[in-house]
Structures are given as structure tokens and as C-alpha cells.
Chains A and B, each alone.
Chain A
């Protein structure tokens, strides 16, 4: 009961905040005057002057995509090099050594792609400098990249008969200056107030009550924790992520961090509605996402509270966030896997098989239930195109969405974006489950071991970054395989998204009539959910059967792994 109250309270606060913030972002991205214009406009102009950006020029999709890819490649190189030479760089009070190339590659890809898969443990591996200049900066920029791609795609839907879809540099600058930076500053201060550490001092050496010697890792955590939550990055400052008391010390910090996971992804759906000039369209997508989120949450809670032959009604607390209870662990787990965040306050490996499966499925579906900032929405729009394509045919018209015809190019791009990450999850998991290199990392046997593998590649290809735990990810095999999965999972979606923006912008807008079906109706919401679930089910049902489903069935028979 208490859990239900907590969950209802959480969503109430969230749902009050998101439309307002969505409206604010719509103003920002449309370049209109907004709350922060007086402060940020001079900063924005200065940035353009320094960088030599012609801010009144727009790009076609090829230019936009080139800018995006070059920008990301540069980010990758910076993070990669910083890690290789961190020993020689400043702000390294613990004298942490250079990072091995495979791990450095994995981490650089991970933060560039907004995944924040961490095969390392922050406190024992990375210097303050690497964390701040490398990772935190990418936390901002990868999130901004996602928003930019989303904006490019959206402009394709709203503009007609043009090849221009905006200016990448402006979109990134505005995302950072008006959205990510101000929110992060507010949240870091609030978190620091709750006790999240923020210091350059070396690690604390203390003597415990028992008289033992203990090293307590410190660092500039609050500033990184804020953006890791807000930008759906999820990479913890410490290895234990938000299960670490210095990263998530109180119930208030827990609540704020959970809010921050979903705030921008949900608000962007409302931004979308405003940008396309129909708040109902935004609301329809919001409804589909929210229903999927709540349905998943219900299954997870059911899975956790279902009586089983081994423990009967005893709460399954192992690996959960003991301070805040199962409800908050599950809510965080659902939020973080839906929103492609990947931060955790509990170990997903310790969820019951059903709850673990939902977490996995959220990622397998392509992170479209709100998903990563920007990324979730452009992924979802691809599902919308497929849903509209099939439904459009069913009403006897060649399909269109918001007056734009969906033709060969858009179908091609959408199926690439929807199916390629899924293919990578299956293929890479298959390789891992059939090779010694893949199997040697497993922490559990039986179906749970297969779940660990599936989870790892789902997390990587879904650009989520959360770990199922139990799997030793820091091996050359997993560093390279998950690195590739992250790259494919990011760019096999982002590239089609920008291309769709380009091809759509060139089209006319066909005015709606009685012959066009509404894409803002309840029926469409359910159709969209149906398409997402069926595509997900068709792709992953066999694999899930051998992982979490049989795991669950065995648990019901009194056997667990």
C-alpha cells in the first residue's frame, strides 16, 4: 500500500512538471524568447562568435548528419585519449593509472553514445580530471546530440518542400545552454545539499568503530550525478551508481534523482506536440509511452510480490535498495530502463525473473518508452511510421503521418532504426553464449546466466548502460563487443532519424480529410502499443523464453539460480 502511495505521488509530481517544461523547451528550440533568454542569449551569441558558427544558416540532412558525426567522433577521441594518459594529467590525487585500450575504447564509446555502460568502477579507475573533463562533458554533449537529432527529424515533419532541417550547432548549443546546464546546476546544488559529495580532496582515510582502516572515495560527484540523471546518461560516479550512499544519500535525493531520470524524456514528448503544432499528437505518443511504462511497472511489482514456493511471502530484499524498499527499487528500475538512463539504486540481477525481464524488454524494444533524451522520441517516431504505414493501408490510402506521405525511404530508414539494434542484441548474445570468452564472465548458471548475457547486449545496443550485475564486463571480449553494440545501437538509429528528417522536409503536407485516420486518437495509441509489443515479441520471444521466462517458470517450481 505504501508503495502505491509513493508511486502515485511520484507520477503526480512528474505529470505536473512535464507539460510546463515541455512548453519551455518548445520555445527554446523554436528560437523564441524565453525565461532564460536574458541570461543565455549573450552566452549563446558569444559561443557562436568564438566557434565561428554562422547561426543564421541552416543545413540539409547531409550537412546536419556530417556535423553530428564529426562532433561525436571528436568527443570519442577526447575521452579515449584522456583515459590513455590520465596518469600524466592533473587532478589525480589517488595516482590512478592509465586505462587499457580496450576498456578506454569501451568507455569512450559508452559516454559518446549516451549509453554510460561502465565496465569499470569509477572510484578505483578514473581520475577526477577524466571524470570531469571527459565523462561529464560527454554527458552533456551526448544528451544534446540526441535532442538535436530529434529536432532534425521533427522539422522534417513540420516543414514543407525544403531541404533544410536546422543547424546542428545551434540545436546542440541551445540544448546545453537553456536546458541541460541550468537544470544540472539546480539539481547538483540540491543534491549536494542532501549530502552528495562534491570535492577535489583526496579520498578520506578513516578508522571505523571496529578499529578497521577504511578508504572512503570522494570526488566531484554531485555535478556529475545531476547530469547523468537529467541527460539519461546513467554513468555513476562510483561503481555502485546511485546505490552508493555518497551518490544517493537520502529519500529526498532518491526522489529527485528518479524525477530527473524521466523529466526531460517525458517533457520532450510535450515539446514535440507543440513543435508539430498539435498538442494532441504529442499527448497520443505520451499516452502510448505512459501506458507501456505503467504496464511494465505493474508486471514488475507483481513479479516481486508474487508468492513463490521458495520464500513464500517473504519480501525478496537481496540486492534491493534496503533504505527505500522494494517499491522504490522497482520504480527506479523501471524508470531507468524505460528512459535509457541506466543508473541504478538496486541490482537488477536480484530482481525476480519477471521484473528483470521487463527491465530487459524495455531496452530490447529500442528504448522507446520515453527513452533517452531525444533518442527515445525519434525511435518512437519510427514505430509511429510503421504503425501508420500498416494502418494507413487498412483505411485505403497510401500511408501518411501529419500530412506527410510515408514512402519507401521512410519505411527503409524506420525498419533499420527499429530492427538493427535488435539484430545486434540477438547476434552478439548468441556469440557470447556460444564462446568461452563470453561464458567465462557469467556470475550465475542456468537461465539466469543467459539473462545476464541478453541484458548486457540489450543495455549496450539500447544505449541504456545499466548492468544486470553478476556479469564481469571488463574483459576484452565484452569491452569490444558491447562497444560495437553501443555504436550500432546509437548510430543505426540516429542516422536514419536524420535522413527521415531530410526526406520528410522535402514533401508536401497533405491536408487531412475524412479519409485520413487520426493519429491522436485512443485507437491509434493502442495500435502503436500493439505494433511495439508485437515487433518486440516477435524478435525476442524465443530468446526470452530460454532466459527469464523459463527462469520464472522454474522459480514457480521451486528452483532458482
Chain B
């Protein structure tokens, strides 16, 4: 779908709208949410007042005007960062809104149909939807089956089946019925539907600061507060020093310059980008087609250290596949393959089809013509535990059967055949390797064993390896017996498994892990997964799942792809890493700014006639003049916000290596880099300032 395309930074409309929004965000009500940037705008306003007073007296100090301008730019750039991040999500929200507008509900009351606007629907109303209708509200199918186009929500154009009962009963407002007719019981009030929540989340309207964001804001605000005191107290200290040195008040110790110093020192970089980082994290998830119900859930995803995964569909591709034919003693393997193929012709299950395909691939057997004979197919029955085919041949019947080892043993014994020991052995071997053995007989002979294998998804082993490096333990959950489970667990490379699991086992396991202090994530779709989804720290419900499951989880995967959890964890970690790295960068920047501004302010103190004062020696960047030094620092401070917007929006690169390695890398890049970068940046800007004769 269109909004899924990669939105670039240079998207013209996006930028235009963001620019407009950056001015709108100057409103004090918005500003007050970000204490650090609030301090900058207050400072800018204060400086502007001073300039206005000067102007009233007929003075136009070009330098102060430039300072004021750059202070305002700092605020605008911070607003712009947030607006860009929001804008990227908004395009998506707009397309969702179009799905919502003006739908009409066909409500059933007293077995009569009544057309009302979707917005008037209440919980437990029953509506009917037929081919072509938009589903008016979130609900549960209580009658019928229909194919539904959910592309408005998921971006996936292939229709999905929704039917009453079972795990595929949930329908979502804004999706369209393509065929058939269903009765839907509405489960959410208008305005609180999944679609509404999604729009609100994407637009950032419902975005609340996450716990970690709050803690970081406290740290940053406190730091700003102490820096405010450091700058304020500088004034009396300077007065004292001026008196003591007899050199008069330092020329550059003016209120606008002290404000400039303060703005340079407080962590404006992270303060300006903090909310953009949070919004972008949400946005990155959305681009992976995952909706997080809160920012808190994304943060929790970064902390996950135990992952519960269903075997089927996640670790293995849903179905077993025939992988090998093991003939009995004295039987040609092609005879076994042929028998197996014939017995499976009528078997439409994926397993059955895989047997036909394997026989064709290995021995080029094609048995299509058998259909035209008077072959009688015997479908699988739970009673006999077998399926097969009887094919009339000249002089008798080919009776081919296949089934589980035990059932086949009984069957062969019943018709007086023998069960060769090497077949028992083959059955044993297949079971132990995690496969499912199917024994094939023809007449009274056991001809061999088909090895049905759980096929582990390609590349999954490497992903688990990555997870392990990230410090995340994987636990496979399966209904298989222990032997089979162990074999697949070993092949897939999971850390642990639960065999013979019931839905309750998941909940118990999550509780156990949490009691030990772990943070657990799981993915699920069924109603019986709901308790575990709710209990998990990160519960990802599949969009194809039931309404109950979708309400229990704190994230919804629109693609219903179980391996998505890995991306979710990565996005969570990226979000936190970006916050931490930019905080470090921002604070490390201050050292250079001190070296730019302090010598500019106090270079003249204690100066002996005709020479520079001793503090001028601290001008290690050799900046041209006090004015250029101060202006360069302020300009650097403003521009660095813009320069880092792409990083804030994209997130710091995450690679699955150990935490210590990541810390070392980020400390080097953002700590040391943050220390050095402004020395270079300020020096370059100083050159430009001189070149352009700004001071």
C-alpha cells in the first residue's frame, strides 16, 4: 500500500508541513512539555525583550540580534525535529482516516435491519455485513463466514477469512467484506475502536511520556537547573573579579551573552530530539506493521530477556514435510516411494501433498493416471489411524495403507503379516530425530517408512544466535512429545523448550520467569493465549487472532508474522540506545563550549596594560574574537540539532553483539565523539562567521 513506501527526509510536503508545525509548537502549552527547550524559548524571549528595549532607545546591537535569532532557531529546530517525526506517521494516519469516514452500519434490532451511522453504534449491537460493506465497528463474528479485505489496516492485499467461533472471529472497523454475509456483535464503542486507537497512536495524540522518558527528562531538567545556577552565579563572581582586578566589568558579560552561555550548556541536543526519538520508535514499529498500544511497551521490548515462541509457524514452517523414504529389508526404495505416493494421492493435507511431491522429485514418479482407474481411496479415520488406497489390478487388488507405527502394527498383525524388526528400528530413529514416521504397507508386507519432518525455517538458527548475543533466551513451546521437541529444539538452536504444552503452560511459564525477575515476551493469536499475552511484559497479538487476544496483548502484529518479535525487540533497543547516545553526546559537547565562551567572557580580567588577560590562554581553539566565539558556539548548538534529526528518526544502528561491546562502541562514538566534534564544529563556524563578517 502507498503509505508503506519509504518516506525520505526530503519529501517536500512532509518538510513543508513540518516547518509550519515548528512555528505552531511555539505555543507555551506545547513548550511546557519540554523543560529544556522551554528554558531556551524563555531565554530567547528575554533576549528579544532586551533588544526591543534597546530599539526603543534607538540602539540596534547587531550582535545581540544575531544571538536572539539563533536562540529562536534552536527552539524552532527542536520543534522541527518533533514535527518531522510526527509527519512521518501522519501520512499513514490519513489513509486510515479515509477508511473510517462515513461508513454506515446495518444494525439488526428485533430481527429488522436498521441503517444508522457507524458512529452511533454501541457495545453488543448486532450488525450485518455483506459483500462490499465496510465493517462499521470492531466486533466478533457470531454467525457466518466471509472473506475480508483488511488492507486498509494491514497493508496486505490478500483477503483473509473471518468466521464465527474459533480463533479467526475478530473483525476490525474499516475493513471490507469481499464475499458472503456475516453477523457481527460490536465489542467497542465508537471512537474507541482499534482503528481509532491506531490513528491516535500514529498521530501522537495519545502519546504519553514513557517511564524511562520521564526519568530521563528529570535528569536533563535537573542538569539544566544546576547549569542555570552555574551561569547565574557567574555574574556576582565576575563582579567580584572585576573589582579585584581593577579592570572594570568584562565587556561581554551581558544578559544576552549569559543566556547564550546557558543555552549552549543545557542539554538542548537531547532535549530537542527526545520526543522525536520516541515518536520515531513508534513509527519504525508501524513501518514493520506492528502497532504498539503504548510507548511503554516498546521500551519493555528492549528489556526482554526471555522469548516464548510457538513451534508451529514460528520455528518450523507450519506443516511437516516428507523428507525421506526408508525401505524395509529387500524392498526397492522406488517401490516404497510409489506405494507412498499412491496412498497419498487423495490426501489433500500438506503432509500428503509433500509425499507426492517427494516421490516425484526423487524418482520422477507420476501417478496421475491412477485417478482414472477404479481406485478406492480410504480416507484417514481416527479409529483405524490409517489411510490408503485399493487399486484394482489384473488378478486382484493392490491394498496400500499408511499410518502411524502402532496402528499399522495392529493392522498387519490382523491380516496375518509380519512386522520386520528393521522397520521398528527405522520408526525409532525417525522419532528420535524429531520427525514423524509413517509406516507403509502393501498387501501383507510392510514396505517401509516415510520420514515426515518438521522443517525448521531457513535462517531461524542464526536469528536465535543473534538473540542469544542480545542476551535473550528463547523458549520453544510445542504440543509434541519430549523426544520430538528436543530434536527440533536442538536443530533450531533454541535455549529451552516446553513439550506437551497446553495453553495454561504458557501462562505458568511466563509467571515463573517473571518471578525470577525476567521480562518475558510472547506472541499469540488464540483466545486461550489471552491470559498469557496479558501477563507477558510484551504480548504481541496477531491481527488474524481473536478479539480477546488482540485486547490482551500490548502490541498487534498486522502481518501476523510470529518472527516479528525479533524486530520488535531490536526496535525497542534502538529507541533506548538512541536516547542514551544522544544524551551522552549532548553532555560531552559542553566541555568545548566552555572553552569557547569562558575565555571570550573573561579574557580581559586581570589584564596588564596592553596585554591579554590570563584567561585568554584558555582560548585553545584560537577563535577569532570574543563575539565570534560566542556566536559560533550558539550557532553550533542550534545546527547540531538539525544535523542529528536523521539519526534521531532512524535510530542508532543496532547490532546483536554483547552489551559491553555496544557500550564501548557507543561511548567511543557519542562520548568521545561528543567531546571532540564541537571543538572542530565551533572552529569551522568561527571561520565562517569571520568570513561572512557577521561580527
Binding site for B on A (CB under 8 A): 160, 386, 389-398, 403, 406-408, 411-412, 415-416, 419, 422-423, 426-427, 429-431, 433-434, 439, 445-447, 449-450, 508-511, 513-518, 521, 523, 527, 530, 534, 537-543, 545-547, 549-550, 553-554, 556-557, 559
Is B244 in contact with A394, judged by CB distance below 8 angstroms?
no
Q: Which residue of B lies closest to A553 (CB)?
A: B614
Query: Range of interface residues on chain B?
Result: 35 or more
CB distance from A21 to the nearest CB of B (A): 32
Is B581 in contact with A534, judged by CB distance below 8 angstroms?
no
B368 at the interface (CB under 8 A from A): no
Q: In the bound complex, how far is the Cα of B218 from the Cα of A537, in angstroms?
A: 20
Q: A389-B219, A542-B598, A550-B602 are in contact. List 19 more A-B contacts (CB 8 A).
A: A391-B667, A393-B580, A395-B573, A396-B302, A396-B573, A411-B215, A433-B236, A449-B240, A449-B244, A513-B305, A514-B468, A515-B471, A517-B659, A517-B660, A542-B230, A545-B598, A545-B602, A547-B237, A553-B614
B519 at the interface (CB under 8 A from A): yes
B53 at the interface (CB under 8 A from A): no
CB distance from B302 to the nearest CB of A (A): 5
Residues 198-230 of B, flagged 1 when their CB comes within 8 A of A and 0 if not, give 000000000000011011101100110111011
Please name all residues of chain B whose beta carbon is closer than 8 Å to the beta carbon of A396 when the two chains form the complex. 302, 572-577, 654, 659, 662
B348 at the interface (CB under 8 A from A): no
Q: In the bound complex, how far is the Cα of B594 from the Cα of A153, in angstroms?
A: 36
Contacts A434-B240, A542-B237 given; indicate if A393 touches B576 (C-beta within 8 A). yes
Is B237 in contact with A430, judged by CB distance below 8 angstroms?
yes
Q: In the bound complex, how far is the Cα of B545 from the Cα of A139, in angstroms?
A: 69
Contacts A450-B240, A542-B234 given; indicate if A419 touches B519 (C-beta within 8 A). no
Query: Which of A393, A543, A559 has a CB less than 8 Å from the CB of B230?
Result: A543
Q: In the bound complex, how far is the Cα of B573 from the Cα of A517, in angstroms?
A: 14
Pick out which of these stretches binds chain A: B66-74, B161-169, B559-567, B584-592. Answer: B584-592
Q: In the bound complex, how far is the Cα of B226 from the Cα of A539, in angstroms?
A: 7
Q: List 14 A-B contacts (CB under 8 A).
A: A392-B576, A394-B577, A396-B573, A396-B654, A397-B573, A427-B233, A429-B233, A430-B235, A510-B305, A510-B518, A514-B469, A516-B471, A523-B664, A530-B671
Contacts A390-B580, A411-B215 given; indicate if A510 touches B517 (C-beta within 8 A). yes
Q: Which residue of B lies closest to A405 (CB)?
A: B303
Q: Which residue of A lies closest to B233 (CB)?
A: A430
Contacts A390-B580, A393-B576 given; indicate if A546 touches B237 (C-beta within 8 A). yes
Is B218 in contact with A393, judged by CB distance below 8 angstroms?
no
B48 at the interface (CB under 8 A from A): no
Is B215 in contact with A408, judged by CB distance below 8 angstroms?
yes
B618 at the interface (CB under 8 A from A): yes
Residues 239-250 of B, flagged 1 when their CB comes within 8 A of A and 0 if not, give 111001100000
Binding site for A on B (CB under 8 A): 211-212, 214-216, 218-219, 222-223, 225-227, 229-241, 244-245, 265, 299-300, 302-303, 305, 468-473, 516-519, 572-577, 579-581, 583-584, 587-588, 590-591, 594, 598, 602, 605-606, 608, 614-615, 617-618, 654, 658-660, 662-664, 666-667, 670-671
Is B594 in contact with A423, judged by CB distance below 8 angstroms?
no
Please name all residues of chain A whose beta carbon is closer than 8 Å to the beta carbon of B576 when the two chains form the complex. 392-393, 396-398
Q: Which residue of B lies closest to A394 (CB)?
A: B580
CB distance from A504 to the nearest CB of B (A): 13
CB distance from B544 to the nearest CB of A (A): 30
Is B241 in contact with A415, judged by CB distance below 8 angstroms?
no
Is B244 in contact with A543, judged by CB distance below 8 angstroms?
no
Please name all residues of chain A whose beta carbon is closer than 8 Å to the beta carbon of B239 when the two chains form the complex. 433-434
Is B218 in contact with A511, judged by CB distance below 8 angstroms?
no
Please name all residues of chain A whose beta carbon is closer than 8 Å to the beta carbon of B226 when the two chains form the complex. 419, 422-423, 538-539
Please name all residues of chain A whose beta carbon is closer than 8 Å to the beta carbon of B216 when the two chains form the complex. 389, 393, 411
Q: Which 8 A-B pairs have the closest CB atoms?
A: A515-B471, A393-B580, A396-B573, A553-B614, A513-B471, A514-B471, A394-B580, A430-B233
Q: Which residue of B lies closest to A410 (CB)?
A: B215
| Chain A interface main SS type | helix
Contacts A395-B663, A543-B234 given; indicate if A407 touches B211 (C-beta within 8 A). yes
Query: Which of B233, B236, B468, B598 has a CB less than 8 Å from the CB of A541?
Result: B598
CB distance from B568 to the nearest CB of A (A): 13
Q: In the bound complex, how far is the Cα of B237 from the Cα of A446, in angstroms?
A: 11
Query: Which of A415, A449, A530 has a CB less than 8 Å from the CB of B218?
Result: A415
Q: In the bound complex, how far is the Cα of B16 from the Cα of A147, in angstroms?
A: 60
Query: Which of A394, A426, A446, A537 has a CB less than 8 Å from the CB of B229?
Result: A426
Q: Which residue of B lies closest to A449 (CB)?
A: B244
Q: In the bound complex, how far is the Cα of B236 from the Cα of A545, in angstroms?
A: 14
Please name all residues of chain A whose beta carbon is closer than 8 Å to the beta carbon of B608 when the two chains form the complex. 557
Is A550 in contact with B237, judged by CB distance below 8 angstroms?
no
Is A538 in contact with B265, judged by CB distance below 8 angstroms?
yes
Is A426 in contact with B212, judged by CB distance below 8 angstroms?
no
Is A423 in contact with B517, judged by CB distance below 8 angstroms?
no
Q: Which residue of A lies closest to B210 (CB)?
A: A398
Query: Which of B227, B240, B581 has a CB less than 8 Å from the CB of A433?
Result: B240
CB distance from B344 to the nearest CB of A (A): 46
Q: Which residue of B lies closest to A391 (CB)?
A: B663
Contacts A393-B580, A394-B670, A397-B303 given; indicate if A553 touches B232 (C-beta within 8 A). no
Is A538 in contact with B572, judged by CB distance below 8 angstroms?
no
Please name all residues of chain B whose beta carbon is closer than 8 Å to the beta carbon of A390 when the two chains form the complex. 580, 583-584
CB distance from A514 to the nearest CB of B (A): 4
Q: Which residue of A lies closest to B227 (CB)?
A: A538
Please name all residues of chain B whose beta carbon is closer than 8 Å to the beta carbon of A439 when the two chains form the complex. 240
Query: Which of B218, B234, B580 has a CB less than 8 Å from the CB of A391?
Result: B580
Q: In the bound complex, how far is the Cα of B229 from the Cα of A435, in angstroms?
A: 18
Is A394 in contact with B245, judged by CB distance below 8 angstroms?
no
Is A415 in contact with B222, judged by CB distance below 8 angstroms?
yes
Q: Which residue of A lies closest to B212 (CB)?
A: A398
Q: In the bound complex, how far is the Cα of B302 from the Cα of A557, in angstroms?
A: 56
CB distance from B15 to the nearest CB of A (A): 29
Highest count of chain A CB atoms <10 Å: which of B244, B473, B591, B594: B244
Q: In the bound complex, how far is the Cα of B225 from the Cα of A542, in angstroms?
A: 15
Please name all residues of chain B whose beta carbon is closer than 8 Å to the beta carbon of A539 when the two chains form the complex. 226-227, 230
CB distance from A542 to the nearest CB of B (A): 5
Q: In the bound complex, how far is the Cα of B214 from the Cα of A411, in angstroms?
A: 10
Q: In the bound complex, how far is the Cα of B330 from the Cα of A62, in angstroms?
A: 84
Highest count of chain B CB atoms <10 Å: which of A427, A534, A547: A534
CB distance from A483 to the nearest CB of B (A): 20
Is B245 in contact with A446, judged by CB distance below 8 angstroms?
yes
CB distance from B560 to the nearest CB of A (A): 26
Is A408 in contact with B659, judged by CB distance below 8 angstroms?
no
Q: Which residue of B lies closest to A431 (CB)?
A: B236
Q: Which residue of B lies closest to A534 (CB)?
A: B587
